[in-house]
Structure 1
């Protein structure tokens, strides 16, 4: 199993970023650039994404956490801050609860919680089958065609992030259909697992109505040392939608760990 990564290097504390489904490490290049003066930032491609291998195996949180452990061991990384978005948030949570002594801190960007009161409309039908069809459609188009065809890419360009739009579109073209197996494993239940996440934890959540915010605060309460910030006007990709506010909250948190 080979994982592709890039790394800012230096003697600073390690900050390891685990991306979401259908992205790859380069989709978080802006965050790496923001932090590179203070941290040794590692961006890696999850199995089936980017330039990493796509093994004929399971793709659940347990397997992805094992990949992360292997990466940290090979790179001789100790005491990292672990950052994960969406699927990557599940990866990081699984890793941090299996080895609670490992991370110095954990940051979760809009983890998907399939529990009563939140995210109940996120996954419908047969998402594994849907993503396979979507990958085939993406790979039938050039990057230029994707940039013109999809609203998400146009929105990124209009918000002043054309380089990010380009990298995300390129990431779509490198996906392998094996990633559909992510959906064969259930998402982690925060009410069952967060009690074992000992590291200081910051959760940056998308905007939500008051009822959902209250429920998400209840879920955060399962963490021994956790805090939740809802980022106004942000969707699922909080740092892409509201980069300045999300970065401000991240920088407020980091000196405390």
Structure 2
């Protein structure tokens, strides 16, 4: 892991922790999924740090961030991230979000378009469901996650890592360590973001002005975005590029890291960082299990 600077902001009475590699480089902001933390991006940071100022945020109720009294609504996550961007002073970063983080990134792009230049949305929870069906589905997901994490939190770290190996045998050890550590740190009520009212994703997407990379997974392996939803997204925005990553669940960047990196690299090269062109050492995922 490269050298990291640790800092935090206070937003609405909540401490929001973030980590930064720093330097006068093109900025990237990473937002993790529920039950994870900012350090879960591990190997990506190793690859990106030489040319990018990488900022990774611990969402409220996760990692070293505080426990809020006023809930986990996505709008509150948005205010947290906008506060980090403004404190660091970075200019129009690309914001990369995974599932819950993707919801936050998209909502950030809608509310504060002046703060971002691009969005990478990794398997966001976009569904073709009625509001009633979506509410029931999210309630089941929230309950399931709370139960799973509650069981894990009763175990020592080594046993959580072993449980992760059994669930995700293809993941690298450093990914499993941070995944396990994040489970220990998560406050269970953070899963309640799923139960909070949210604007329809279709409405948010149609109003985004930044360029967008949507990465989708195999629904049969746990991915959220179906083919029909992806096609709806394509019709709603002329800013969107959609890449399906085969043989991956919703942890695309861990299940298929090389394919994930290829898609991210091409998006950054084509839209945001012309200096990456011709730099062959960035074109391939160099890590092996």
CA RMSD of aligned residues (A): 2.4
Is the Cα–Cα contact under 8 Å of residues 17 and 65 in structure 2 kept in the other structure?
Answer: yes
Q: Does 1:109 align with 2:129?
A: no
The equivalent residue for 2:160 is: 146
TM-superposed CA distance for 1:234, in Å, is 1.0
The equivalent residue for 1:181 is: 192
Q: Does 1:224 align with 2:238?
A: yes
Separation in 2, partners of 1:71, 1:212: 32
The equivalent residue for 2:170 is: 159
Could you state the TM-score of these two structures normalised by the residue count of structure 1? 0.90
Is the Cα–Cα contact under 8 Å of residues 100 and 198 in structure 1 kept in the other structure?
Answer: yes
Is the Cα–Cα contact under 8 Å of residues 114 and 189 in structure 1 kept in the other structure?
Answer: no
Segments of structure 1 that go 5 or more residues without pairing to the other structure are: none
Separation in 2, partners of 1:160, 1:194: 32
Q: Does 1:89 align with 2:96?
A: no
Could you state the TM-score of these two structures normalised by the residue count of structure 2? 0.80
TM-superposed CA distance for 1:187, in Å, is 4.9
Q: In structure 1, which of residues 70, 82, 87 is the aligned counterpart of residue 83 of structure 2?
A: 70
Q: In structure 2, which of residues 186, 201, 208 is the aligned counterpart of residue 190 of structure 1?
A: 201
Matched residue of 1:123: which SS? Answer: helix
- Describe the superposition over 1:52-97 as per-residue Cα deviations: whole angstroms up to 9, x where unpaired: 0011112111000000011111111221110000000000011000
TM-superposed CA distance for 1:221, in Å, is 2.4
Matched residue of 1:114: which SS? Answer: coil
Is the Cα–Cα contact under 8 Å of residues 96 and 102 in structure 2 kept in the other structure?
Answer: yes
The equivalent residue for 1:249 is: 263
The equivalent residue for 2:113 is: 100
Matched residue of 2:226: which SS? Answer: helix
Separation in 2, partners of 1:165, 1:238: 14
Note the 1:3-22 alignment, pairs <5 A.
3-22=16-35
Segments of structure 2 that go 5 or more residues without pairing to the other structure are: 1-13, 272-289
Q: In structure 2, which of residues 48, 64, 75 is the aligned counterpart of residue 35 of structure 1?
A: 48
Q: 1:184 to 1:72 in 2, by over 3 A?
A: same
Separation in 1, partners of 2:195, 2:136: 15
Separation in 1, partners of 2:123, 2:265: 17
Runs of 4+ deviating beyond 6 Å: 119-122
Is the Cα–Cα contact under 8 Å of residues 197 and 224 in structure 1 kept in the other structure?
Answer: no
TM-superposed CA distance for 1:126, in Å, is 3.9
Matched residue of 1:40: which SS? Answer: strand
